[in-house]
Amino acid sequence: MGRFCLDLTARPARRSRTGTGSRLFLLVLLLVSSAESAFAQSLLPEGIVAWQAGYRSYRSQENAFDSNFQLRPIGADYTMKFDHDMLRSGKAGKDLQRLATVLDSVGDPAETRLDLGVLKQHVTADLSASIFGLAYGASKDLTIFAGIPWTKAQVRNRVEFSGSNNAMAILDRLGNMAFDELRAGLEQASQLDAATIRNAIESEGYGPVDHWDYSGIGDTILGGRTAFDVELISGLPLSIEYSPSISLPTGHADDPDLINDVGLGKGFISIAQSLTQRAMVSSNLVLGMDQMYAYNMDARVKRRVPEENESIVAADRKTNVLYNPGDDVELGAFFEGRSGIYGARLRFADHVHYEDRYTGSIVGNYDKMSASSGTELLTYEAGFSINTVEAYQKKEFLVPFIANFTASFPIAGQNSPNFEYYEFTLTSFLDAR
């Protein structure tokens, strides 16, 4: 029956950019708007330089939101039964599919139904990013900024295969009816275990199944910001900020030869525009809204293209394809309060990524590559800040700086990560005039 090619995940509860549908993680899109938290408060005066350093730590990732907005393990504790119906579907590869189909035509179908065991995966990922950014007041109406993260990821995957395996019992019942190829297939199926699964995957040119570690830069962001004030109604000033930016694919993107890697970069150029409106309802309270739209440009990427429904795709199916990523839209609403040098912020946001598409020169199941790639994530974040800029200008504080602490929590999502993170940033200023 040849070498087994196994699909380890059934339908993934995450979006997949890998093209195989077999990876265990929704891609981490660390959109490093390093200037956002500290630089978005106002434009910098002309000739002033702001530098920022920060650290973001994610809670260990073990689950994600599926297509029904329900939290499910990311491969971890996701039970997959290697029973006859599943094998016939082709999800465990063509060899086992052929074995199950042949058994249906030999002997009594009620006595030749395969049951090879149960697969479980236990996956955890620890992610973090150190953030570095610079901003410069190019004029009184324009601030330009740049930011880049240093990302770290550690993924651990424990594969367990347990339960009864009736392949040899079926072989005994068939007796002389089992021709040589069928006998060889049943004998091989009887030896299916976690090690066999790992070896089958790695024999197709994939890297280690049980772990992946990475440390390196993420995507670079370059942008600018301008702002103007209007009076919405008598006595209610409104500040409007416009910020275009471009994200360059300098971070680690999907590697078609790795199963458990996390995309810490997008793998394509993204051009974003954001608009923020702030209404000062009192001297200490601001209400605001923000909108972001990102146009994601097509890119040529290397992917393994499945022939049908297999998720562990053969190495000879690796080729260059045209990747047409869906665009991103985010809508937010926030409250900001301030008393002296202390501030607080509460924000709610809904981020939508539209479905990705792939096309290529070889025949394959490109729809499977796009499955679950459309995502939505609703979050809220709470922040606390210390801002000494005005106190410094009044000579009441020795050093001008802005310190921000932010905690972000998921509310609901679809095909999206269950991201909870904590971030600290420190911003200070230099006079380059």
In this structure, the dihedral spanned by the alpha carbons of residues 139, 33, 298 and 63, taken in order and rounded to 10 degrees, is -170
Most confident of 157-166, 187-196, 205-214, 272-281: 272-281
Angle among Cα 388, 389, 393 to the nearest 5 degrees reads: 115
Tell me the longest C-alpha to C-alpha distance in the chain. 96
The answer to the question of residue 333 being in a domain is: yes
pLDDT digits (tens, 9 = 90+) for 295-323: 999 999 999 998 887 767 888 899 999 99
Structural domains counted in the chain: 1
pLDDT, residue 75, reads 67
Contact 380, 369 (CB under 8 A): no
CA of 358: how far to CAs of 16, 48, 296, 333, in Å? Answer: 12, 45, 14, 34
Between CA 170 and CA 149 the distance in angstroms is 56
Q: What is the pLDDT of residue 313?
A: 83
- Going by the DSSP 8-state scheme, the letter that residue 239 receives in this structure is E
Q: With H, G, I as helix, E, B as strand and everything else as coil, classify residue 127.
A: strand
**Is there a domain that residue 7 lies in?**
no
The pLDDT, as a whole number, for residue 90 is: 75
- On whether the CB atoms of residues 198 and 206 are closer than 8 A, the answer is no
Any bridge partners for residue 329, and if so which?
Answer: 293, 352
Flag whether pLDDT at 177 surpasses 50. Answer: yes
DSSP secondary structure string, 380-430?
EEEEEEEE-HHHHHTTSSSS-EEEEEEEEEEEEEESEE---EEEEEEEEEE
Lowest mean pLDDT among 22-26, 75-79, 85-89, 225-229: 22-26
Asked if residue 86 is part of any domain, the answer here is no
Instruction: Write down the mean pLDDT value for the chain.
Output: 84
298 HSE (CA, 13 A, CB side)? 10
Most confident stretch, 33-47, 56-70, 83-97, 105-119: 56-70
pLDDT digits (tens, 9 = 90+) for 6-45: 333 332 333 333 332 333 333 333 333 433 443 444 689 9
Side chain identity, residue 168 = M
Specify the higher pLDDT residue, 351 or 175: 351
> Strand pairing partners for 165?
none
On the 0-12 / 13-18 / 19+ scale of CB atoms within 10 A, 161 is buried
Tell me, yes or no, whether 13 lies in a domain: no
Question: How many Å apart are CA 269 and CA 251, to the nearest integer?
Answer: 11
Confidence of residue 428 (pLDDT cuts 50, 70, 90): very high
- The answer as to whether 166 is a domain residue is no
d(CA 170, CA 363): 37
Residue 364: phi and psi, rounded to 5, are -175, 180
| CA distance between the termini of the chain | 75
Reported as a pLDDT band with limits 50, 70 and 90, residue 94 is: confident
Could you tell me the CATH number of the domain that includes residue 137?
A: 2.40.160.40
Is 110 part of any domain? no
Residue range 216-253, pLDDT digits in tens: 999 999 999 999 888 777 777 889 999 999 999 998 88
pLDDT value at residue 74: 78
What would the mean pLDDT of 118-125 be, rounded to a whole number? 83
Q: How many CB atoms lie within 10 A of CB 320?
A: 12
Q: Contact 168/115 with Cβ under 8 angstroms?
A: no
Tell which residue, 248, 312, 271, has the closest CA to residue 119.
312
Two tokens at 145?
């900024």
On whether the CB atoms of residues 289 and 339 are closer than 8 A, the answer is no
Residue numbers of the domain that contains 391: 36-72+128-157+217-431
> Could you tell me the pTM of the whole model?
0.81
